[in-house]
Structure 1
Amino acid sequence: MYAISLGDDGAELRPLEPWHAEEFLAHLDRGREFITQHIPFGVNVTDVDSARAMLQSYADKRAADSGFLHGLWLDAKLVGGVLFRIFDAEGGNCEIGCWLEPAASGRGLVTRGARVLIDWAFDERGLHRVEWQASSANEPSIKVARRLGMTREGVLRESFLYRGVRQDMEVWSALAPEWRDARARAAHNDH
């Protein structure tokens, strides 16, 4: 299987497959409290079978071209991931998301991994719009959207019920032409 280097710090982006179930469960157990603060990702993964089932559901989505998971590894240890939660190739839209255990936060892993997936969605698959949704209370996720150069489109007030509390959800997006223009400007400024 392939691995994409995310820099000189030993960070890699790789597909997260059903055969990673034990490693995925161990990762979620290390970071469960942190990961599930704002999102229910992995909350029902409590044993190897449920880990495998979740990973299989995304393998099925990938086979149907409707979503998929990529793990973030740091020094050969699974520490988080980025995913296409929704992937609509025909409509030209997708929603990207992320999760990370606390020991790996603050290193830019999610931003670097998300950038690879967004480049792929626009350049290889020809999508037009990538969306990022995050609870307004999830400041690390909001910061990633900003670092990626996404545009804040608005707030869906009290639209997401989580842990008995109605959360405001922010909607951020990038469109293919503006993404390519920003990338070209960054490349020009590097010269």
Structure 2
Amino acid sequence: MTQHINEYGQPIGAPLPEWQPRQWPCYEVFTGQYCRLEPLSAERHGRELYTAYAQANDGRDWTYMFAAPFADEETYLAYAKSIEQGRDPMHFAVIDMQSQRAVGTLALMRIDAKNGAVEVGHVAFSPLLKQTCMATEAHYLLMRYAFDQLGYRRYEWKCDSCNQPSRKAALRLGFQFEGIFRQAIVYKGRNRDTCWFSMIDAEWPQLKQAFERWLAVENFHADGTQRAKLEALR
């Protein structure tokens, strides 16, 4: 890597003479092969999402979320209403292309258009969505939007350091582990040490190619099992 030195003999970061602040994300519809992302609407998606989340046997999927398990549909609908159309976070519903029903949500958040950085968070995938092609594609669609359409430089993932499934998912998707911020957050009456992960624009072309190869129909057997793992295609 080329080292840049200023007039005082000090090492400095690479110059970005053409850099301009990026556009703030918009609420759009993103369509893939297996799923579609739509701006979250309590009216359109709320009941389907509550039904999808109710497929879980218990409330463990909410342990590391800021939201708590929802006791009834009315409570979830009120929550969905409170977060729809927000400027930051911006929540999207994941629609199963086969059933045309909402099966989970995720959001763009901590949006820093000036520096071209954004985080994906509030990932609430129901049992109908977890560990499916749709789940991977939902992340890919937002990454593609951030890098290819908005021209962002950095895409982040953060989670509770105790949340091993989330840490594993970040690495599988191609994020790089950056470290742990100790005692970063207090939530649900307890401490959270936060793991930071990221991917950057220079890495995106290779990651994008791997996603597209993995998502291709020919990468799956007739029974739906994968031929090659995503990690192996990078």
Partner of 1:153: 178
Partner of 1:109: 134
Please state if 1:59 is matched with 2:85. Answer: yes
Q: Residue by residue, what CA displacement relative to the aligned partner does 1:119-167 show, whole Å, maximum 9, x if unpaired?
A: 1011111111111001122222222211221110001123233333323
Offset of residue 29 of structure 1: 4.6
Runs of at least 5 residues in structure 2 that lack an aligned partner in the other structure: 1-27, 214-231
Count of aligned pairs between the two proteins: 183
Aligned with 1:59: secondary structure?
coil
In 1, the alpha carbon distance for the partners of 2:194 and 2:38 equals: 28
User: Which of 105, 114, 118 is residue 94 of structure 1 equivalent to?
Assistant: 118
Amino acid at match of 2:59: E
Amino acid at match of 2:36: E
In 2, the alpha carbon distance for the partners of 1:140 and 1:58 equals: 26
User: Which of 15, 24, 31 is residue 4 of structure 1 equivalent to?
Assistant: 31
Aligned with 2:203: secondary structure?
helix
Judging by fraction of residues, say which structure has more helix. Answer: 1
Amino acid at match of 2:61: I
Amino acid at match of 1:36: W
Conserved in 2, the CA contact under 8 Å of 1:25 and 1:47?
yes
In 1, the alpha carbon distance for the partners of 2:113 and 2:143 equals: 13
Question: Residues 112, 186 of structure 1: CA spacing in aligned structure 2 closer, same or farther, 3 A cutoff?
Answer: closer
In 1, the alpha carbon distance for the partners of 2:211 and 2:128 equals: 30
Partner of 1:16: 40
In 2, the alpha carbon distance for the partners of 1:42 and 1:24 equals: 15
Question: CA RMSD, aligned part only?
Answer: 3.1
Aligned with 2:202: secondary structure?
helix
Conserved in 2, the CA contact under 8 Å of 1:111 and 1:147?
no
In 2, the alpha carbon distance for the partners of 1:14 and 1:147 equals: 24
Aligned with 1:168: secondary structure?
strand
In 1, the alpha carbon distance for the partners of 2:212 and 2:102 equals: 30
User: Which of 118, 123, 137 is residue 148 of structure 2 equivalent to?
Assistant: 123
In 1, the alpha carbon distance for the partners of 2:210 and 2:70 equals: 43
Judging by fraction of residues, say which structure has more strand. Answer: 1
In 1, the alpha carbon distance for the partners of 2:154 and 2:205 equals: 12
Partner of 1:77: 101
Deviates more, 1:145-154 or 1:180-189: 180-189
TM-score, scaled to structure 1: 0.77
Higher Cα Rg: structure 1 or 2?
2
Runs of at least 5 residues in structure 1 that lack an aligned partner in the other structure: none
Offset of residue 79 of structure 1: 1.9
